[in-house]
Every structure is written in C-alpha cells, then in structure tokens.
Structure 1
Amino acid sequence: MSRTRSATLLLLAVLGVCGPAPGARAVLSRKPTAATATTTTTSTTTASSSTSANSTPRPFEDLVEAGTRDLEPPSDCITPANLPGNCQRIQTCHPLYQLMQLRLNSVQIDFLRRSQCGFEGRNPKVCCPQRARAPSQGGHIPDWNRVAGFTPIPTEGFPKENFPTDFPISAPRSCGRQHASTGLTRVVGGQAARNGEWPWIVALGYKTHPRSSFAGRPQFKCGGTLVSEKHVITAGHCVYQKSNLYLARLAELDLEDDEDGAHPVDIEIATKHVHPDYSPTRFTNDISILTLRRAAPFTDGIEPACLPMRPDIRSRSFVRDNPFTAGWGSTFFNGPSSSALMQVQLPVVSVEECQRAFASIKTATIDNRTICAGLQKGGKDACQGDSGGPLVWPWEGTYYLIGVVSYGLRCAEAGYPGVYTRVTEFLDWIQETMKV
C-alpha cells in the first residue's frame, strides 16, 4: 500500500468517517478569513493586522512576525489554533502529515479532527497553517510555554549538521548520569526518549478550572530540571504570576501511557523563587527555582543534572558544542502537545550570530545571559510547552545543565536559533536561593 494511501486511510480512521457520500459537496469546517499577520497570546493565538515595536509581550510568548503576508496565498480556513490556513490534502501539509507518522494521543487526534475542512473526492482535506515570513521591523508577541526558530534571513556562520550523536556513559552517581543503555540521540525534528535517558527532567503541573476538560488533573505546560533532591530549575515565565503551578512530576516518559515502563513520582511544590530581575517584557533573567515539599527519591529514573560549577565549564562559551534538550511540548508551531517525551540535539551559535538573527526584534535581548542553539536550515528545536526544560551538555560521561528553554520565533524554522537562559551566569543566585 502506498504511503499516500496509508495516510488517507489513517486520517479517515482518525476522523471517524468513510468519506463524503457520492456527489456530496465539500464543506469547510470554519469560515474563510482574509490573510492577516498573526499574534500569539497565552496558550492559543489570535489574529491581528499589525504589531507595533512598542507593544508589550506577555510572559514568554512566541515572537511572531509584524507586517503582511503578501507572499502567502489567501487564507481560506482557520486552524484549531485560530491561525489563518489553507484547506488542502494532508499529504501536502508537512506539519500535519508528519504528525500522522507518530503514535497519536487524544489531544493530537482531537487536533486532527478539528483540522478537517473538507474532502477532495474521498481524500480528507485539512486546514494547513500558513508559514510566516521574517519580520520587516521590530514586531513581537509571545505564548508563555515554548521556544523556537522562525523564517528566512539565512545567517552566515550557523553550524552545519555534522555533530556526533553518541556519548560515553560512565559518570559519578551523584549527578548528571543517565540510566539508559545508550547515550542521548538526536522536540521538533527530534525523536521519542527512552526510559532512563532524562532522569533529571521534570514536568510541571498546573491546577485547572473545575469545569475544564482537565478537571481534577494537572495540566503540564512547562518543563524543569532537578538539580538537587529538593530543587528544580525552570524558566521565569513558567512561574511568574502563575499561582496555579503546584506540582512537579519526576521520572515521567509518556504523560498518557501508564504502561510505558516509567514510574513517575509526583511531589508538590513548596516555594517558588523567580529571579528578582526577571523581565516579562524583555525576556531577560528568565529563570526560577522551585523548592519541593519533600525530597525526591533518587532511583534509576530520578537523578539530578549537574550544575556547571567547574571553572573550566563555567567559563566555556559552548559555541560549536552540541547539547541536548527535551520536553513534552508541541511537535510543530501551534500544534498539539506531545504526550511522549521528545528529545533533540542542537549546535550552539555565538552571541553575535544570535544577535544578528534577532536584530529586528526590539524586545529580544541577546547577551551573555543567554545561550542560542539551532541549525541554520531549521528543522530541529524546542517548541510550545517545552519552556523551562533543560539544555544539557555531555562532558566526560556527565550531563551538565547549561541552559533553560526560554523563547524564540515559531518552531524550528530556518535562520533563527532558539534562545535559552545561560545557567553559568546565574550560578551565584542559584546557590544562594537553594540555601533559603
């Protein structure tokens, strides 16, 4: 059976339909709208005709383009994320076609169902999100749970994809040691993690409204990194004005699969410490420390990452190094979140290269407090829902926390790396806060 035929049948199964009746007319599931520049707000997005350089972004939101989409075909549908799109066969819509290759969770299945906009013969059509162009002037707007890439302006000097993928595993038991049979492999453009590969990663749970679809269950919107038996490092925007953050889940692999071999442990959060100089408008000092109500039980599935305290690591720029990041975020921009932990390896680019990439975004501050990582051609990145998660660097078999997922432009698009908070610049504050 051809891949195209398989995808069509799978989508029909997901949609719970067998195609339109003979002679039936395809009907759009959403009203057509004129193409507009999009701006993201918390969690989902809304449309806006323009974004001024002086507008105020919300805590960690995706930076989106300002200006028009004059190179885009007219929009004829609206995606489940409330963005303009084009109704087309799923085989020609790369992000949704790639989503079909995964083991779908209930959220992803619902997203695909709500993406349906008609049929072409017996072939389902979906509302495919339009791609964005690079901003012509300092526009911005963000969504408080993710990191990413964006579009054009190919920046010279980005590393090529020629980095190693396997690292030795032999490290002290105290921190930064994996408990999987092999090293980390290559979130957008990534692949599913295995048990024991990320013993330090934490899923942060938020209380939900009693009448929401998550009623009685935590909603996992951000990630974090266990750095001691009672402390988790995450992004400032994951904690700032988020009174409903209450839970840290350790040793998780698949949020919806109780038979994945993982043995997750839930621990309530006792105190939250956002960096005193965190700026929700300029995305600076985007780091927080959470203190757990009780000590985490260290097992093969739970172990802290090492803080980069060694002088030779603390002074390192990490440019051209190839760290890893992971999370349960979206597998494409404004797509549904993944229930499975996904991981990816990314090369670090210099501060100067990153500054050039973000030069048109007036509120994006790139300096020695940040670390940027991504491929020039795009295709691999963290995304919405990965915020606060770890960027870890392997050295001599030990994994060191060098970055915290902060912000970016869309997800995994060419020309823009993702931006992470550089942990080495905050070690003094981290040590003092952990003493409290």
Structure 2
Amino acid sequence: MEADLVSRSAFVCWMLIFGGLWLSNEAQAQSAPCLTPTRQDGLCVPIHRCRNIYDIVQKPTPPSTGIANYIKRAACTLPGVERSICCQPPEVVPETTVLPGKADLLPKECGQSVNDRIAFGNATQVFAFPWMALLQYNQNGELIDGCGGSLINNRYVLTAAHCIKTRSTIRLVQVRLGEHTRNQDIDCNIYRDNNGVEIERDCADPVEDYQVESFEIHPDYNRPKYSNDIGLIRLDRSVTMKYHIRPICLPVTPQLRSKQFERYIVTGWGTTENQTGSQALLQATVPRVNNDECQQKMLQNRLNVQLSDKQLCAGGSDKVDTCRGDSGGPLVFSTDFNGPRFIQFGVVSAGVDSCGKKSIPGIYCRVGSYMDWILNTIKP
C-alpha cells in the first residue's frame, strides 16, 4: 500500500430491460458491418445497443422530423432481431454475456427510501438508506467495525474487493444490516415541537447480523493497481426485507449504465473531519469530476494511479469528502426507474487520506461496468 494513495479501508470506495429484466435469445447482442446514412462505416446492432439513437427514441416527446428520417434511413437487418440500426461504432454499447435468467435474481422493488457524518456532511435519518451494510471483522479475537457495503438482493452485499481481501490479522466474518447509530440498541427518529419537547418518535426494529457464507472478488482486482476494486459477499441465510432493511437498485439498463449526474450521494460511518469514527450513519453530496480532470489532479499531487473508464471520480471540493472506514460503501443518486428510485453507480474504492482537507477527488469503482460480472457471479 502506498503512503499517499490508499485503499478505502482508509477512504470511503447490461443487462437489457426492454419490457422487463430478461434478455431473450432474440435480443442477445449481435452486430454486422454497415454504412450509416452519412456513408460512414458502422455496425448493424439491435437498437437498444446504439446509445445515442436509443436515448432519442426513448424520450417521451417524439423526435423531430429530421431525426426521425435519419433513424428510418439508418435501419438495417439482423436475423431474429425486431429492430436494428446502423450505429456509429463509438456509440455501440458492448454486448452482454449475462447468463439467461440471472437478472431475475435482482429485486424489482429496490432503491426505495422513506426520507430524503462523513466529513463535512450531514447526519442521516433512520430509514433513509435501508440498503446500508456494515462489515465487521475479527481482529485478534475482537469483533470490530470496518468497511461499508450495500444490500443488492436477499443474499448478497456489494462492496469493494479490498474490504474482502484483508490482512491476515483481520478477517471478514459478519455483515450487519439495519444499522444506523452504532452505539444504540434501538434507532429512532425523534420529533420535537418548537420548545424542544418530544412529541413523537419513529423507531426501527433491531439490527440483524449475518455470517459470511462465501465471497467473490473480481478476478482482475488490483491489475493495474486500484482497479476492478469490487466484490460480492454471500450471506449465510436469506434476508427478510423490512422497513429498515431494503436493497438498492443497480444500473441494469443501457440507459442507467451510461447515465451521469453532476453530483452523487455517499454514505458511511467513517472518520469525520475531527478524525473520529461516527456512531451515526452520515451522508455527503459530492460533485462528479470527469476522469481527465481527476487524472490531472492525481498527477499534480504525485499520486501513482492510472484511471480507466471503469472508474469514476467524485468529491474533493469545498472539503466535502469521504473518509476512513467508508470503503466499499455505495455512491448513489435518485433517478426515474419504474418511478423515482435510488440507483448505485459507484463503490467507494480509493483516494487521498485527507478527510476533506485537500481538494482531491475520491475514486469509485463504476458499478455499471461490472453488471455482467455481478449477474454471472450471484446465484439463488
């Protein structure tokens, strides 16, 4: 581990839906050479694989006549595919190799929050982020809290690979779900009147602890350094979803996989600006930083990391940052996916151990780039 760039034990770290979460044989990715309407070399692909065209035809308002004519002239034919188009190669979404039926293992009811102290962030309310998982480790016979993670279905938690592949003296043994304030047995939202007198409280059920049945880390983790930092934990029994324990949505559609926002929300129990671990779950809103700018920031600060398109950067401005102990936690934002839902776009991976004291973005593993691996790895 390098001194200046650290894994987020010291920092916080397509499936096609074309009428449903199922990839039929007819819709499986195919391609063939073709010429676009502007006589450029292209690839004939199912329309859902052509990012710029698919985004246009999915808009609620009809495209203009000119665009509609272009789409019509770009039509091509692929055997067994209902609607194909000659697409510019840079706009072609890579074909998926997801095993049939695997997407059914991800819940359709996900990413639902009843509410709207990472460094310089805000305390969260109970029930606000019900997918949060707290990873716990055996260190010399003592159970300690460590990384974060996110519940993605009734048996799996998504986290960073470095949270699973730990030092020999620390072993991942347990996952806690439904946690909010670590030093309280019962977590409650307390409502008070203008005089500070309690008038009502809304309390969650107790936390639930699950043993680790098995885990998988990405086969290319840390090749090159800090890349492919993603892993899956299989719990020892099925999770019963409750008001305070619910899964997060993943970016399963082509649109979600390519979607970018100006800001994201990150959550965790990590070190605050005072260098002390927070007992309560904290959240921070972090701005997205494009990879070119992020790479330049790394070079300016002599950080040995080479970013790829499978990573994204966020944070590092106005001293809003994620800190020690937030590794593996989710980077999320709310968008329309069968109604407004939170989608996980990143996993806290690596960054400067500054806790918001330096304006250097944090590095996140881009979840959309690993959907095939996730879906092929999970099992019933």
Question: What's the TM-score, normalizing by structure 1?
Answer: 0.57
Counterpart secondary structure, 1:407: strand
Counterpart secondary structure, 2:149: strand
| Distance (whole Å) between structure 1 residues aligned to residue 363 and residue 276 of structure 2 | 22
Cα shift at 1:259 = 3.4
Does the 8 A contact of 2:12 with 2:328 survive in 1?
no
Moved over 4 A (4+): 140-143
Q: Which amino acid aligns with 1:259?
A: I
Does the 8 A contact of 1:324 with 1:344 survive in 2?
yes
Matches within 5 A, 1:333-352: 335-352=275-292
Counterpart secondary structure, 2:279: coil
Matches within 5 A, 1:266-345: 266-279=209-222, 282-316=225-259, 318-320=260-262, 322-332=263-273, 335-345=275-285
Give the alignment partner of residue 359 of structure 2, picking from 415, 419, 425: 415
Matches within 5 A, 1:44-123: 57=2, 64=4
The answer on 1:209 being equivalent to 2:149 is no
Does the 8 A contact of 2:313 with 2:362 survive in 1?
yes
Which residue is 1:178 aligned to?
113
* Identical pairs, percent: 33
| Distance (whole Å) between structure 2 residues aligned to residue 344 and residue 143 of structure 1 | 16
Which residue is 1:372 aligned to?
313
Give the alignment partner of residue 235 of structure 1, picking from 152, 160, 164: 160
| Distance (whole Å) between structure 2 residues aligned to residue 386 and residue 173 of structure 1 | 27
Deviations 1:151-204 (A, max 9, x none): xxxxxxxxxxxxxxxxxxxxx971000023xx1xx9111111111101101000
Deviations 1:315-370 (A, max 9, x none): 22x152x211111100027x221111111111111111111111144532222111
Does the 8 A contact of 1:145 with 1:221 survive in 2?
no
How many residues are treated as equivalent by the alignment?
264
| Distance (whole Å) between structure 2 residues aligned to residue 281 and residue 141 of structure 1 | 14
| Distance (whole Å) between structure 1 residues aligned to residue 127 and residue 6 of structure 2 | 36
Does the 8 A contact of 1:382 with 1:411 survive in 2?
yes
Cα shift at 1:292 = 0.5
Structure 1 residue ranges without an equivalent (≥5): 1-55, 58-62, 65-139, 149-171
Tell me: CA distance 1:252–1:143, structure 2 relative to 1, closer, same or farther (3 Å).
Answer: closer
| Distance (whole Å) between structure 2 residues aligned to residue 260 and residue 304 of structure 1 | 19
Give the alignment partner of residue 181 of structure 2, picking from 243, 254, 257: 254
Counterpart secondary structure, 1:419: strand
Does the 8 A contact of 2:160 with 2:327 survive in 1?
yes
Does the 8 A contact of 1:319 with 1:349 survive in 2?
no
Question: What's the TM-score, normalizing by structure 2?
Answer: 0.65
Does the 8 A contact of 1:179 with 1:301 survive in 2?
no
Counterpart secondary structure, 1:424: helix
Does the 8 A contact of 2:271 with 2:324 survive in 1?
yes
Pick the structure with more strand per residue. 2
Does the 8 A contact of 2:271 with 2:355 survive in 1?
no
Q: Which amino acid aligns with 2:374?
A: I
Which residue is 1:435 aligned to?
379
Structure 2 residue ranges without an equivalent (≥5): 14-106, 189-203
Counterpart secondary structure, 1:345: strand
Higher RCO (CA < 8 A, seq sep 6+) = 2
Deviations 1:25-46 (A, max 9, x none): xxxxxxxxxxxxxxxxxxxxxx
Moved more, 241-250 or 379-388: 241-250
Q: Which amino acid aligns with 1:341?
A: L
| Distance (whole Å) between structure 2 residues aligned to residue 398 and residue 284 of structure 1 | 28
| Distance (whole Å) between structure 1 residues aligned to residue 223 and residue 239 of structure 2 | 30
Cα shift at 1:147 = 3.7
How large is the Cα RMSD of the aligned pairs? Answer: 2.2
| Distance (whole Å) between structure 2 residues aligned to residue 432 and residue 354 of structure 1 | 31
Tell me: CA distance 1:274–1:173, structure 2 relative to 1, closer, same or farther (3 Å).
Answer: closer
Does the 8 A contact of 1:306 with 1:399 survive in 2?
yes
Cα shift at 1:435 = 2.9
Cα shift at 1:227 = 0.5
Give the alignment partner of residue 425 of structure 1, picking from 364, 369, 372: 369
| Distance (whole Å) between structure 1 residues aligned to residue 272 and residue 185 of structure 2 | 21
